[in-house]
Structure 1
Amino acid sequence: MLTFVAAFFLTILTPGPGVLTTAGVGSGFGFRPGLTFLSGLWFGTNLVAVAVVTGLAAVVLADEVLRTVLIFVSAGYLLYLALRIARSGSKISFIEKQAAPGFLGGLMLQLINPKAYVVNSAFFFGYPFHFDSLWTEILLKFLITNIIWIPVHLIWLTMGVTLHRLNLSPRAMTVINSGMAVAMLAVVALTTWSALDTIGA
């Protein structure tokens, strides 16, 4: 169990689409809209986990053409976000909408996030606790992942809100944006490769 906790904690700390976008919403719209977005992201995270555990995700992705299209659409969306970061000039937030993405935005981001499916498959089907009941193990894993996931994402949201309040110089903001863009590009490459490798496309 400790191995599972440590592995999940280290994985969730890796900047991915969810945490980077959460920070962007916080820096662009403030804490309350960020919490609304984060609630959608949390719901989507658990929905993906349920789909993986019940085998629904495997059924949906059984079609080779469909799963390949979904992977590249997801990668394209993440690449689009990365380009928005790099081109956002002196703005910290790479989200330039008039209104915050909201609950649905968070939900949809996680549903199309390849990393979410890869991570959930690896952790729910790997790192066995060797309990007599598989469902006891699954329920414990849901509990543990949420206990770690929630505070980590709240920290990223708070970081984004803090950046917004600091009123940094245009040069400092550009450096931050460039760093976020590079991180997102790395996420695009890694999640696409991992998803293709996992499903054998």
Structure 2
Amino acid sequence: MLTFAAAVFLLIITPGPGVLSAAGMGAAYGFRPGLRYVIGLFFGNNLVALTVISGLAAIVMGPPAVRTVLMVASIGYLLYLAGRIAFAGSRVAFIEAKKAPGIPSGIMLQIINPKAYVVNTALFTGFAFYPQSLAVETLVKLLIFNAIWVPIHLVWLYAGAVLHRLNLSEAAHHRINILMALAMLGVVALALLSSFGGRG
């Protein structure tokens, strides 16, 4: 059980689309608007977990074409969110970025986020610790997973919100938003590299 908890912590604490976008929403819009987005991430991640646990993910994700479509959709959506963060509050935004993405945006990111499926599959198909009952083990895993997932994402959101609350100039805030968006683009680049690397 402790090994499972450690694995959850290490897999979630590392920067990925979820935590980086949570920090970016906090930096661009503040804690409360960003919290709605994190609630969406939470619901979306649990939907992915249930899809993995039920075996539906293995059936749906089996064909390589589906994985490719999911990767393209995920990258496109991450680019969209990076744009929302980069141009938050900007009068020259090419997209409407004054209103923070909410719960549906968080759910959408997790549903099309390949990393969410990989992490959930690794956690829920491995790290067995209660052979007497798979149902009990799965329930305990869900509880542990969420008990670690929630505070980590709230810490990232809060870190971004601290930057948002600092008495910085509009130009400085804009630079921070750009840096957060660039970090998300870094995740996109890594996703592309891993995707092409997996084909070699």
Verify same fold: TM over 0.5: yes
Q: TM-score, normalised by structure 1?
A: 0.81
Report the residue type matching 1:134 in the other structure: L
Write the distance in 2 (CA, Å) between the matches of 1:181 and 1:37: 16
Report the residue type matching 2:59 in the other structure: V
The match for 1:111 is: 111
Shift in Å, 1:178? 6.0
Residue 134 of structure 2 is aligned to residue 134 of structure 1: yes
The match for 1:15 is: 15
The match for 2:3 is: 3
Contact 1:40–1:102, Cα closer than 8 Å, also in 2: yes
The match for 2:31 is: 31
Write the distance in 2 (CA, Å) between the matches of 1:30 and 1:175: 16
Shift in Å, 1:66? 2.4
Write the distance in 2 (CA, Å) between the matches of 1:169 and 1:132: 59
Q: Percent of aligned pairs with the same residue?
A: 56
Write the distance in 2 (CA, Å) between the matches of 1:121 and 1:14: 17
SS at match of 2:33: helix
Report the residue type matching 2:155 in the other structure: I
Contact 1:4–1:127, Cα closer than 8 Å, also in 2: yes
The structure-2 alpha-carbon separation of the partners of 1:29 and 1:180, relative to structure 1 and needing over 3 Å to count, comes to closer
Shift in Å, 1:32? 2.0
The structure-2 alpha-carbon separation of the partners of 1:37 and 1:84, relative to structure 1 and needing over 3 Å to count, comes to closer
The match for 2:41 is: 41
SS at match of 2:99: coil
Deviations 1:19-65 (A, max 9, x none): 12112222222222222111111000100000011011122223332
The match for 1:184 is: 184
Q: TM-score, normalised by structure 2?
A: 0.82
The match for 1:61 is: 61
Runs (4+) of structure 1 exceeding 6 A deviation are: 195-198
Contact 2:23–2:160, Cα closer than 8 Å, also in 1: yes
Write the distance in 1 (CA, Å) between the matches of 2:128 and 2:103: 33
Contact 1:71–1:196, Cα closer than 8 Å, also in 2: no
Shift in Å, 1:147? 0.3
Contact 1:40–1:104, Cα closer than 8 Å, also in 2: yes
Number of equivalenced pairs: 197
SS at match of 1:46: helix
| Structure 1 residue runs without a partner (length 5+) | none
Q: How much is the aligned-residue C-alpha RMSD, in angstroms? A: 3.0
The structure-2 alpha-carbon separation of the partners of 1:84 and 1:38, relative to structure 1 and needing over 3 Å to count, comes to closer
The farther-off stretch of 102-111 and 163-172 is 163-172
Report the residue type matching 2:168 in the other structure: L
Contact 1:114–1:195, Cα closer than 8 Å, also in 2: no
Contact 2:23–2:158, Cα closer than 8 Å, also in 1: yes
